Amino acid sequence: MSSGHDRFLELCAAWALGALDEGDRAPFEAHVAAGCPACEAEIARCAEAAALLAAAAPPVAPPASLRDRVLDAVGEPRRGRKFSLAPALGWIVAAGLLAVVLMGWQLVTDLSRTVRQEREWNELLQSPAVPLAPTPDGARDLSARVHYDKSTGRALLVFDNYRPPEGRAYELWAIRDKGPESLGLLEPDSEGRAVLRLADAGRAAAFAVSLEPPGGAPKGGGPTGAVVSVAAVG
Amino acid sequence: MEAARNPPGGDPVACLHRIGAGDRDALGALYDRYTPLLLSLARRVVGNAADAEDVLQQSWVQVWHSAARYEPARGPVAGWLCNIVRSRALDRVRSRSSRERVEGGAGGGGSASDPAASLVERERHSRVRAALGAIDASERRVLELAYFEGLAQSEIAERLKAPLGTVKTWTRRGLSRLRDLLQGEATP
Q: Check residue A83 and give left, alpha or beta (phi > 0: left; psi -120 to 50: alpha).
A: beta
Tally of CA atoms within 13 A in the half-sphere of B144 that contains its CB: 21
Query: Which residue would you say has higher pLDDT here, A91 or B59?
Result: B59
The CA distance from B90 to A6, in Å, is 30
Interchain proximity A141–B116, CB inside 8 Å = yes
Which pLDDT score, from 0 to 100, does residue A79 have?
39
**Is some CB atom of chain A closer than 8 A to the CB atom of B73?**
yes
Domain-wise residue ranges, chain B: 7-99, 117-188
The CA distance from A24 to B166, in Å, is 16
**Is some CB atom of chain A closer than 8 A to the CB atom of B32?**
yes
Interchain proximity A141–B52, CB inside 8 Å = no
The CA distance from A232 to A131, in Å, is 9
Tell me the chain B residues in contact with residue A60 when contact means C-beta distances shorter than 8 Å.
36, 39-40, 43, 49, 52, 113-114, 117
Phi, psi at A228, each rounded to 5°: -100, -20
* Closest by Cα among A98, A217, A132 to A169: A217
E-state strands within chain A: 130-131, 133-134, 143-149, 154-160, 169-176, 179-185, 194-198, 206-212, 227-232
Chain B closest-CA separation from residue A213 CA (Å) = 26
Of A19, A66, A125, the CB nearest to B53: A66
pLDDT tens track for A24-76: 888 888 888 888 888 888 888 888 888 888 989 988 889 989 999 999 888 75
Domain-wise residue ranges, chain A: 5-54, 130-232
* Closest by Cα among A39, A34, A53, A35 to A5: A39
Q: Residue A208's CB: how many other CB atoms inside 10 A?
A: 22
Say which residues have a Cβ less than 8 Å from residue A9's Cβ, sequence separation at least 6: A38, A39, A42
pLDDT tens track for A162-194: 988 888 899 999 988 888 899 888 888 887 888
Nearest chain B residue (CA) to A69? B57
Of A57, A69, A122, the CB nearest to B44: A57
Phi, psi at B48, each rounded to 5°: -150, 155
pLDDT tens track for A148-163: 988 888 898 888 889 8
CATH architecture, range A130-232: Sandwich (2.60)
| CATH entry 1.10.1740.10 includes domain B7-99 | yes
Of A54, A71, A161, the CB nearest to B24: A71
Query: Which residue would you say has higher pLDDT here, B110 or B67?
Result: B67
> What's the fold here for domain B117-188?
Arc Repressor Mutant, subunit A (1.10.10)
The predicted model gives A102-107 an average pLDDT of 56
- DSSP 8-state class, residue A202: -
Tell me the chain A residues in contact with residue B53 when contact means C-beta distances shorter than 8 Å.
63, 66, 69
Task: Kindly tell me if the per-residue pLDDT of B187 is higher than 90.
Answer: no
What Rg do the C-alpha atoms of chain B give, in angstroms?
17
Task: Kindly tell me if the per-residue pLDDT of B17 is higher than 80.
Answer: yes
DSSP reduced 3-state for A52? helix
Tell me the chain A residues in contact with residue B65 when contact means C-beta distances shorter than 8 Å.
78
Which pLDDT score, from 0 to 100, does residue A201 have?
87
Interchain proximity A62–B39, CB inside 8 Å = yes
Task: Kindly tell me if the per-residue pLDDT of A83 is higher than 60.
Answer: no
Q: What is the ipTM of this complex?
A: 0.81
